[in-house]
Structure 1
Amino acid sequence: MKKTTYLVLTFFIISTSIFASIKLFSNVPNRFIQVDDTIHQRSRIAKRGSVTEVFPQFPGGAHALRKYIKENLKYPEISARNKVQGTVEINCVVTKTGVIEKVIVMTSLDPYCDAEAVRLVKNMPRWIPGNINGVPSDMHRVIVVDFKKNTDQKVATNADFNSIVTCGGIENKYSETIFTVVEQMPQFHGGLVAMKQFIAKNIKYPELSKKYKISGNVYVRFVVSKDGKLCDAQILRSLDAYCDKEALRVIRSMPNWISGKTNGVNVSVYYIVPLTFALPL
């Protein structure tokens, strides 16, 4: 009875936390380490002294970054013709050597603008790497690329676009778009209750995280493809390295979902699930 009550309370927090902001520990410095081939943000209690973080930056600073984007961005012809305007948000990792890796689209505009934003970021010169207490470190960076049709902006022809962003990375131009919101969102077979039960049955609280009383939510974003397969799972909001790794493991172990639909057609859709690691009361 106690166990059932605990699970109900835990997943009540999960369902409500999607719409709430997350409060990180104010006394916990943020670190980035590599776990399971993905760079995650790690929350860690500093036992002595303070942790100083310097975030990576484009050579010459923010002004130089804006100039680089303006001079190198090519507005996709098909997007310009369809009057598509807005921003694409790119999440990437600036390594300790200043190289940009793990480029993914966080906020999509259309497949052609997404592809152009990815191309632009991947072709950037080396950044000045970030550091923690003076030691160069791999760190995440979000780069916003604006697509606003100006008379002096370069326009790319369709021939310039041989690829677009899709589930599994960059594929050919005939691949599908990944949507963020559709008429019928994808769902776990059996719905939200069944998904919570699956997570409760399969999640394992990492012993080290429990030992150091790390608790809270890990937000995982993934793609539910048009055939219901889950792919491209990424940590959107980190807790610590061990909880992050466990959250990814659970998501990746899920069976196929019911795919999302728009206009009656199956499409690939981004989906976010929070997984809660709660210490016993």
Structure 2
Amino acid sequence: MKKFIFVILMACISFASFAQDKNQAVEVKSTIASGFDKCAMYPGGENGMNTFIHKNIDYPMAAIKSGKEGNVTVQFTVNTDGTVSNVKVVKGLEPNLDAEAIKVVSKMKGWTPAMKGGKAVPMDYQVNCHFAK
């Protein structure tokens, strides 16, 4: 009976490891500027942004194979119409990881713009993506 339970437990652990999304290796942290009445917000807040990035990012196979890990910090502007522009890497790691972070951030739509004095204003935002195996 102990062997049977052990085999079932190991099968579950193996399945859970196999079923893990490759994107779980990406951790997202954001930094926002101060001085606004209300900061720009992605639909669903930080959790919504994390979910979007995890679903849309592809950890490049070349980076996985080479063991490349670390942070890519991307800065962008949330415009008054809720779109994203001026996407650039502030702190890069390697070209294929930098490009992937830019690609995903550029796809984010539907932001609620920052407000200052009752008026929508552009706001710079940073997202720190940590790539790890």
Q: Give 2:83's aligned residue.
A: 229
TM-score (norm. length: structure 1) = 0.38
Q: Equivalents in 2 of 1:252, 1:242: separation in Å?
A: 15
SS in 1 for 2:120: strand
Q: Equivalents in 2 of 1:10, 1:206: separation in Å?
A: 12
Q: Give 1:257's aligned residue.
A: 111
> Which of the numbers 192, 195, 204 marks the counterpart of 2:58?
204
**Residue type matched to 2:84 in 1?**
L
- Greater strand fraction, Structure 1 or Structure 2: 1
TM-superposed CA distance for 1:195, in Å, is: 0.6
Q: Give 1:142's aligned residue.
A: none
Q: Give 1:100's aligned residue.
A: none
When the two chains are superposed, the root-mean-square deviation of aligned CA atoms in Å is 2.0
Indicate conservation of the 8 Å contact 2:83/2:108, yes or no.
Answer: no
1:69-108 correspondence to structure 2 within 5 Å? none
TM-superposed CA distance for 1:183, in Å, is: 2.2
Q: How many residues align?
A: 113
Q: Give 1:187's aligned residue.
A: 41
Q: Equivalents in 1 of 2:125, 2:64: separation in Å?
A: 28
Q: 1:10 to 1:247 in 2, by over 3 A?
A: closer
The structure whose Rg is larger is 1
Indicate conservation of the 8 Å contact 2:78/2:124, yes or no.
Answer: yes
**Residue type matched to 1:219 in 2?**
T
Q: Equivalents in 1 of 2:129, 2:105: separation in Å?
A: 9
Aligned-residue identity in percent: 28
Q: Which one has more relative contact order, counting CA pairs under 8 Å at least 6 apart?
A: 2
Q: Which structure 1 segments of 5+ residues have no match?
A: 20-179
Q: Equivalents in 2 of 1:270, 1:213: separation in Å?
A: 31
TM-superposed CA distance for 1:10, in Å, is: 4.8
1:58-73 correspondence to structure 2 within 5 Å? none
Q: Equivalents in 1 of 2:117, 2:38: separation in Å?
A: 9
Q: Equivalents in 2 of 1:194, 1:225: separation in Å?
A: 18
Deviations for 1:160-209, whole angstroms, at most 9, x for unmatched residues?
xxxxxxxxxxxxxxxxxxxx432211011111101101111010011111
TM-score (norm. length: structure 2) = 0.76
> Which of the numbers 78, 99, 121 marks the counterpart of 1:245?
99
